[in-house]
Structure 1
């Protein structure tokens, strides 16, 4: 460990928890701005310690405020991004044709997270291109085809958004007509 790493570690503010800055902010505010009868620590007017304590207080207050703003901006951006993605995924699900819906329906009929499909099928290729289906990796990032088939899984964000009834036509207790529709519209 070199001297550069030592100084980098000392001045890396991200490693210090925000709670420490909060405690210094609260204690400093109480110490410097509370009425004298409530403050337990008294500084002499000509004391250098008061100046150093005040500088530390100002720096910690600034870092605390920046951390708070960063957290608020990050959460706001994540919220807006999730809303946008959910809207795009709803639109994507709405635009799927009946063949693509039938492939997705299979995951719910079998109640499985992964299923084997022929990887050279046009419908499967289209769903992979649209990022609806992904290859389920067996070993690291490699894709292990099993004959003509490979294992696929549904995009986890889409899985949370898909409505079995509205998007795929699945109901809990289907009547004969609904059962016939599902049986006739199964993928090859």
Structure 2
């Protein structure tokens, strides 16, 4: 059985506040004038343990700098990842097929932000996989669970994406309104969305 220093302490799990604390304290003990240490009654402590203050200070400052660099890289990566996801989501919204459009139009027809839908329906599960729909609760009726349009999708979803056009005739609007998913006439759907 081998032993390593990382078994004793994992620096990544130590709160950075501890490193700030030790960095500030060791920095004060290193760089403070002798009169200041005398006033705090730390001259004897400094003479006994002074050889460790420099090492502690260097380790703490290095860890804080590395943590800041890691934090900055993490924020940059997160920004580009969100930007990439948003771009992919916009493309998915532009390529919705008529059955996906009809599911999303249910939110407009019912004028609700949350609707119970059959999670096992291929169109609904496809919209869940695309992160256009999200499940709002784990409690449902049968396979009907409360669903909502995800915040990023809602932000970029337009009426055009739902198959609606500005210059549609009344007959075309009625045709679109009648084109609803087959499960909307189901008794469980009606009871779940009262």
TM class by shorter chain equals: 0.5 to 0.7
Q: 2:120 & 2:134 partners in 1: Cα distance?
A: 11
What is the aligned partner in structure 2 of residue 186 from structure 1? 180
Q: 1:40 to 1:182 in 2, by over 3 A?
A: farther
Among candidates 152, 155, 159, match of residue 161 of structure 1 = 155
Q: 1:65 & 1:92 partners in 2: Cα distance?
A: 40
Q: 1:166 & 1:134 partners in 2: Cα distance?
A: 21
Corresponding pairs, count: 168
Q: Secondary structure of the equivalent of 1:40?
A: helix
Q: Quick check: 150-159 or 92-101, which moved more?
A: 150-159
Q: 1:167 & 1:28 partners in 2: Cα distance?
A: 61
Q: Does 1:22 align with 2:20?
A: yes
Q: Is the 8 A contact 2:105 2:162 kept in 1?
A: yes
What is the aligned partner in structure 1 of residue 189 from structure 2? none
Q: TM-score scaled to structure 2, two decimals?
A: 0.63
| Cα distance, 1:153 vs structure 2 | 2.5
Q: Is the 8 A contact 1:133 1:152 kept in 2?
A: no
- Structure 2: runs of 5+ lacking an equivalent: 183-194
Where do 1:6-155 residues align within 5 Å? 8=7, 11-33=9-31, 36=33, 40-41=36-37, 47-110=47-110, 111-117=112-118, 119-120=120-121, 123-124=123-124, 126-127=126-127, 130=130, 132-133=132-133, 137-138=138-139, 144-145=142-143, 150-151=144-145, 153-154=147-148
CA RMSD of aligned residues (A): 4.0
Q: Is the 8 A contact 1:24 1:61 kept in 2?
A: no
Deviations 1:119-170 (A, max 9, x none): 45x544654564544676438xxx943xxxx436256355443434453367
Q: 1:90 & 1:71 partners in 2: Cα distance?
A: 28
Q: 1:114 & 1:108 partners in 2: Cα distance?
A: 11
Q: Is the 8 A contact 2:22 2:57 kept in 1?
A: yes
